[in-house]
């Protein structure tokens, strides 16, 4: 689990403005440093060229980079709109965090600033002979970088914003979160046993915010709890909805522990929308949303829904496959509820079962996927799959108009009671 500081830094590093600002500053620095090159380079390190040669190249670069950057931002906005309309608004943040997009746009901004600063300093006649040589070589390097970025951008634009590409990003984000949770089911702490009664005398910890838990700083809670040798039972996970009326944790103590309670509140980052990083349920939920949107009358695309069922099945199979060797407990004073398998199935498939109830091909693929999951994992995993199969059949039984289609679907479910 990342500390709060590392988590905040990681979020900032994924922002488009940060990378663009950083590369832009590098471009300004490169153009500025060329002006002092005469102080450090020997007189022989020059090129036989006038200032007009570099001036012309920089002018072309500045004008073209401004146009290309504007066009690229317009294209990115259009791709985000397509992803919002055809996939899910929740998936657009993954597109904005795309490394190729950020690198390309940052390169264009950096090249534009480099050329503008270079032109200003050149017109001020601040470059000596060595400085013009350095500026010319740097300009050629920037041009090569721009050309490579343009080629990457052209190839990337073909896929950007498409439903399949967006769903692939969501699937990878969900699998990363699932892998992390499999490796650390208690997020570094101890797992609470299901159905374990809460002892008498524990104190609830409430939070004065409304929203979703984005991150829990487990190390911070552990340090505060260990200092007083007290046990803390969390009642929320990343992705949980919290409000002042429901406790986020319980402290095993009989007295007042204001300092520890304040630490627990500060360790829980709350936001208005869920995040993919530590919330495996959110990833599969968004895939289910993409399928549900594809099944709406305005889009009517059962093929996309079937594709999402396949992706969700792969993720659930990964979750139910042989358990990863858990990491050692690093925060023994903090007890954490486990991620329930039934909740994963509910988030992933309930919307598809409901919105695709009247589409026989979607229902058939859904039942076949659940049949495959019923032979995987432990008994809890298989029971969750059976429960979803029953519910999907119940939806289909009320929505399908032909008894023949209901019969076809019933023939796929001989292992459960469909009466």
For residues 62 and 81, membership in a common domain is answered with yes
Token couple for 132: 């013009």
The enclosing domain of 249 has a CATH number of: 3.90.1170.30
Predicted TM-score of the model (pTM): 0.83
For residues 134 and 21, membership in a common domain is answered with yes
Rounded distance, CA 309 to CA 287, Å? 8
Domain annotation covers residue 331: no
Query: Which among 277, 273, 353, 302 is positioned nearest to 7, based on CA atoms?
Result: 277
Domain boundary among 271, 290, 313: 271
For residues 246 and 267, membership in a common domain is answered with yes
For residues 305 and 402, membership in a common domain is answered with yes
340 with 191: CB under 8 angstroms?
no
Token couple for 199: 């002892």
Q: What is the pLDDT of residue 419?
A: 46
Domain annotation covers residue 166: no
Domain boundary among 128, 161, 194: 161
How many domains is the chain partitioned into structurally? 3
Show Cβ contacts of residue 123 under 8 Å, excluding neighbours closer than 6 positions.
55
Show Cβ contacts of residue 300 under 8 Å, excluding neighbours closer than 6 positions.
none
For residues 23 and 103, membership in a common domain is answered with yes
Q: What is the pLDDT of residue 237?
A: 93
183 with 323: CB under 8 angstroms?
no
Count how many Cα atoms sit within 13 Å of the Cα of residue 213 in the half-sphere of its side chain.
27
Provide the 10 A C-beta neighbour count for residue 164.
12
Domain annotation covers residue 36: yes
Rounded distance, CA 14 to CA 324, Å? 28
Query: Which among 188, 279, 198 is positioned nearest to 233, based on CA atoms?
Result: 198
Domain boundary among 249, 271, 293: 271
**What is the longest distance spanned by two Cα atoms in the chain?**
93
Rounded distance, CA 166 to CA 178, Å? 18
3 with 219: CB under 8 angstroms?
yes
For residues 107 and 223, membership in a common domain is answered with no
Rounded distance, CA 25 to CA 390, Å? 59
- Reduce the DSSP state of residue 270 to 3 states and report it: strand
Q: What is the pLDDT of residue 44?
A: 55
For residues 263 and 370, membership in a common domain is answered with no
In tens digits, the chain (419 residues) has pLDDT values of 566 777 777 777 777 778 788 887 887 787 777 666 656 655 555 555 555 667 788 888 888 888 888 888 888 888 888 888 878 888 888 888 888 888 888 888 888 888 888 888 777 776 666 777 777 788 888 889 888 988 888 888 888 878 888 899 999 999 999 998 988 888 889 988 776 667 777 889 999 899 999 999 999 999 999 998 899 999 999 999 999 988 999 998 877 778 899 999 999 999 988 988 889 999 999 999 999 999 988 888 999 999 999 999 999 999 988 665 667 889 999 999 999 999 999 999 999 999 999 999 999 999 999 999 998 888 899 999 999 999 999 999 888 888 888 888 888 776 555 44
For residues 370 and 297, membership in a common domain is answered with yes
Show Cβ contacts of residue 337 under 8 Å, excluding neighbours closer than 6 positions.
191, 192, 234, 235, 236, 237
For residues 131 and 266, membership in a common domain is answered with no
Rounded distance, CA 375 to CA 358, Å? 27
For residues 209 and 238, membership in a common domain is answered with yes
Q: Give the helix/strand (H/E) hosting 38.
A: none
Q: Give the helix/strand (H/E) hosting 284.
A: helix 280-294
Q: What is the pLDDT of residue 414?
A: 63
Going by DSSP bridges, is the β-strand pair 202-205/249-252 parallel, antiparallel, or unpaired?
antiparallel
CB-count burial class (<10 Å; 0-12, 13-18, 19+) for 140: exposed
Rounded distance, CA 298 to CA 292, Å? 11
For residues 139 and 221, membership in a common domain is answered with no
167 with 310: CB under 8 angstroms?
no
- Supply the range of the domain harboring residue 13: 4-161
Domain annotation covers residue 332: no
Rounded distance, CA 212 to CA 204, Å? 19
For residues 248 and 304, membership in a common domain is answered with no
């Amino acid at each position: 689990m990342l500390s709060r500081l590392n988590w905040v830094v990681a979020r900032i590093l994924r922002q488009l403005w940060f990378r663009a600002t950083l590369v832009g500053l590098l471009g300004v620095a490169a153009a500025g440093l060329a002006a002092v090159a005469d102080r450090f380079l020997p007189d022989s390190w020059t090129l036989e060229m006038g200032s007009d040669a570099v001036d012309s190249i920089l002018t072309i670069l500045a004008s073209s980079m401004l146009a290309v950057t504007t066009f690229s931002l317009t294209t990115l906005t259009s791709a985000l709109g397509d992803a919002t309309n055809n996939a899910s608004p929740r998936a657009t943040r993954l597109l904005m965090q795309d490394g190729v997009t950020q690198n390309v746009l940052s390169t264009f901004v950096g090249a534009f600033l480099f050329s503008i600063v270079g032109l200003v300093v050149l017109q001020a006649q601040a470059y000596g002979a060595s400085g013009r040589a350095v500026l010319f070589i740097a300009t050629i390097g920037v041009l090569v970088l721009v050309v490579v970025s343009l080629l990457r951008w052209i190839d990337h634009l073909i896929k950007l914003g498409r439903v399949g590409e967006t769903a692939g990003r969501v699937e990878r984000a969900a699998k990363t979160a699932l892998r992390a949770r499999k490796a650390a089911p208690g997020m570094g702490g101890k797992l609470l046993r299901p159905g374990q009664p809460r002892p008498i005398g524990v104190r609830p910890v409430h939070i004065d915010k409304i929203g979703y838990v984005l991150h829990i700083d487990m190390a911070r809670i552990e340090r505060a709890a260990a200092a007083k040798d007290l046990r803390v039972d969390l009642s929320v996970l990343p992705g949980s909805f919290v409000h002042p009326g429901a406790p986020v944790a319980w402290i095993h103590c009989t007295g007042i522990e204001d300092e520890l309670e304040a630490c627990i509140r500060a360790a829980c980052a709350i936001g208005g929308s869920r995040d993919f990083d530590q919330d495996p349920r959110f990833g599969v939920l968004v895939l289910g949303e993409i399928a549900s949107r594809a099944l709406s009358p305005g889009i009517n695309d059962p093929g996309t829904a079937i594709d999402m069922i396949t992706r969700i099945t792969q993720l659930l199979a990964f979750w139910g496959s042989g358990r990863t060797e858990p990491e050692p407990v690093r925060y023994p004073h903090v007890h954490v509820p486990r991620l329930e398998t039934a909740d994963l199935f509910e988030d992933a498939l309930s919307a598809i079962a409901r919105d695709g109830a009247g589409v026989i091909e979607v229902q058939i693929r859904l039942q076949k996927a659940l049949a495959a999951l019923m032979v995987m994992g432990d008994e809890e995993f298989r029971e969750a799959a059976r429960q979803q199969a029953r519910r999907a059949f119940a939806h289909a039984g009320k929505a399908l108009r032909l008894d023949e289609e209901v019969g076809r679907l019933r023939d796929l479910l001989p292992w459960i009671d469909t009466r």
